[in-house]
Amino acid sequence: MSTTQLKNLVIDKIYGIEDEELLTAFKKILDSSLSGEVAYSLNDEHRQAVCESKRQIAIGNYVTNKDLEKAEDRWLKE
Q: How many residues are given for the chain? A: 78
Full-prediction pTM beyond 0.75? no
Q: Which residues of 44-75 are buried (b: 16+ CB within 10 A; e: fewer)?
A: eeeeeeeeeeeeeeeeeeeeeeeeeeeeeeee
Rg from Cα positions in the chain: 22
Question: Which residues fall within 8 angstroms of residue 26, CB to CB, at 6 or more apart?
Answer: 14
- pLDDT by residue, tens only, the chain of 78 residues: 899 999 999 999 999 999 999 999 888 888 877 766 666 788 999 999 999 999 999 999 999 999 999 999 999 998
